[in-house]
Amino acid sequence: MPDQEETISGLDAIRVATGRKPAQHLGLLIAWSNAEPERIGEVALLTEGTAVTLGRGEGSGGPRARLVRQRPGVNEPGGPLGGLGLSREQLRIEARADALDVTLTGKPPLELRGVDVERCTLGVGDAVVVRGQLLLFCVKRPERLPPSRGFPADALAPFGRPDALGILGEAPATWRLREQVAFAAEAAGHVLILGESGVGKELSARAVHRLSARRDRALVARNAATLPPGLIDAELFGHVRNYPNVGMPERAGLVGEAHGGMLFLDEIAQLPVDLQAHLLRVLDAGGEYQRLGDAAARRSDFLLLAATNRDPSGLAHDFGARFPLRIEVPPLRERACDVPLLVRHLLLRACERSPALLERFVTTIDGSPHPRVDPALVLDLMTRSLPGNVRELDALLWRALSESDGDAVLALRERAEPATPATPTAEPSAQQIRDALREQAGSVTRAAAALGLPSRFALYRLMKRLGLSSPEE
């Protein structure tokens, strides 16, 4: 079940002021709309014990579902739905503590898991389809997202579109990522970026660079796994002219090229521990290093952005300690409500590469291009585990394009379910976490799997909330 947790940014201030976490509400999120695709991502939140009607226009009699576009500190009203195929009173929704009771009151049929129903009960991660009109996804959200503490307003984009840094998503977890990126850019220290394969760690690194005071200087990028062990000093620090052989030109090295800017090293955990030691001195204040063949030390004013999809406890302790700033890029399963926005964006990007695909699968609504998509495809992708995250999502969409026969992108013909970690029936206790870490020799990744948590990052967050130290501390 997708994790629809609230953003962390700003919550400490709320707890200090109120002594408690912000209240959470169940709601229905528009995951797809054929008539109004710009409304994807809007959500109607309901308070426990209340009942509302969802339908076209204002309607008459009884309270209406109020759709909003949630952004930090503000809920922008979305206005009444306008799809002509919807009835004015399409659904009646009653909110309980842990579920929504949905009753069909309009003409278009209501589908739950491909079966027509008159009424159904939805929990977080469940979805229903108003046939030919809407895909609605059950989420749990705070009534209002905490205000932004640092993300610049001039980097924002219209709701549901990629921002100026290329980050796309309106989920609370995505706004937390933006806050982390903005803080790291302002703090101006070395940054370790954590996240699973395909989540967008390099995108986050480039976002830090673009928001920083070094944005006008170089961002030098290299995969650390490709640094040859015997030549790592030459690759990192360069060499003087005529060294090691006469006629060799001077070489600045990665550190020299990044002077005044930033150096991005991807897959940093694949750099052997003994080679990590080569970077220790240059990462200290002053950035001192020595080119091969040079008698004098040099200095490089640079910041290192390093990324890994591995457990950071695998880094040498003194090397990991040189990264005072850390960014956790959330996997798609923790921001499932961003998947429809990514589907729209990735399909448009794919179709723009081919005039034939653009003509076949894209329509223009209110002056903007939108892909024609079977909502069943969107729901399928929202509920997959997607271990390859955005990279895997993009590949699946290309497959869907190739398999679709008509003028809409259809659901995949076969769904191969990847293995997913077991979902815990209850949150592990502090003692259970200590026992798991001890049994797994301190490996946070293995301990998270043993506890049934979806990722090591989920365990890190739980440990932080319970006041437990991580093994590397």
286 φψ region: left (φ > 0), alpha (ψ -120 to 50), beta (else)? left
Tell me the average pLDDT across 287-298: 93
CA-based diameter of the chain, in Å? Answer: 89
Q: In terms of C-beta density within 10 A (0-12 exposed, 13-18 middle, 19 or more buried), how is residue 415 classed?
A: exposed
- What tokens were used for 314? 């695998």
Coil, helix or strand at residue 192: strand
Peptide bond into 418 cis (omega under 30): no
Tell me the average pLDDT across 69-73: 97
Q: Rounded distance, CA 330 to CA 473, Å?
A: 22
- What tokens were used for 354? 């081919």
Find out whether 333 and 384 touch, Cβ atoms under 8 Å.
Answer: no
Residue whose pair of structure tokens reads 């300690």 in the numeric block: 321
Helices (H), 404-472: 430-439, 444-450, 456-466
Find out whether 361 and 409 touch, Cβ atoms under 8 Å.
Answer: yes
What residue ranges in 150-267 does DSSP mark as E strands? 191-194, 219-223, 262-266
Condensed to tens digits (0 to 9), the pLDDT of residues 352-400 reads: 999 999 999 999 999 999 999 999 999 999 999 899 999 999 999 999 9
- What tokens were used for 276? 């990590």
Res. 17: pLDDT tops 60: no
Q: What share of the chain is helix, strand, coil (3-state, %, to 5)?
A: 35, 20, 45
Res. 15: pLDDT tops 60: no
More confident residue, 11 or 191: 191
Residue 442 — very low, low, confident or very high, per pLDDT cuts 50/70/90? confident
Q: Rounded distance, CA 186 to CA 51, Å?
A: 45
**Residues in a beta bridge with 223:** 266
pLDDT at position 414 is 74
Condensed to tens digits (0 to 9), the pLDDT of residues 100-134 reads: 999 999 999 999 999 999 999 999 999 999 999 99
pLDDT at position 470 is 59
As a whole-number percent, the residues of the chain with pLDDT over 70 amount to 92
pLDDT at position 463 is 82
More confident residue, 46 or 425: 46
Q: Rounded distance, CA 339 to CA 303, Å?
A: 33
**Averaged pLDDT of the chain:** 90
pLDDT at position 88 is 94
Q: In terms of C-beta density within 10 A (0-12 exposed, 13-18 middle, 19 or more buried), how is residue 263 classed?
A: buried
pLDDT at position 210 is 98
pLDDT at position 424 is 43
- What tokens were used for 466? 């319970």
Q: How many CA atoms lie within 13 A of 40 on its CB side?
A: 29
Residue whose pair of structure tokens reads 């060499």 in the numeric block: 239
- Side by side, the strands of the sheet bearing 191-194 are 219-223, 262-266, 303-308, 191-194, 325-328
Residue whose pair of structure tokens reads 């029936």 in the numeric block: 425
Residue 13 — very low, low, confident or very high, per pLDDT cuts 50/70/90? very low
pLDDT at position 21 is 65
Report which secondary-structure segment, H or E, holds 326: strand 325-328
pLDDT at position 415 is 56
pLDDT at position 20 is 58
For residue 395, the tally of other CB atoms under 10 A from its CB is 13
Q: Give, in degrees to the nearest 5, the angle at Cα 35 between 33 and 37.
A: 50
Tell me the average pLDDT across 317-345: 97
Tell me the average pLDDT across 213-220: 98
Write the CB contacts of 158 (distance below 8 Å, at least 6 apart in sequence). none
Q: Which of 129-133, 298-302, 422-426 has the lowest mean pLDDT?
A: 422-426
Q: Check residue 364 and report its DSSP letter.
A: E
Q: Rounded distance, CA 81 to CA 133, Å?
A: 11
Give residue 302's identity as a one-letter amino acid code: F
pLDDT at position 375 is 96
Residue 250 — very low, low, confident or very high, per pLDDT cuts 50/70/90? confident
pLDDT at position 471 is 55
Relative orientation angle of helices 375-383 and 339-352, to the nearest 10 degrees: 120
Q: In terms of C-beta density within 10 A (0-12 exposed, 13-18 middle, 19 or more buried), how is residue 173 classed?
A: buried
Find out whether 372 and 408 touch, Cβ atoms under 8 Å.
Answer: yes
Report which secondary-structure segment, H or E, holds 368: strand 368-371
Q: Rounded distance, CA 260 to CA 287, Å?
A: 11
Q: Rounded distance, CA 146 to CA 152, Å?
A: 15
More confident residue, 470 or 412: 412
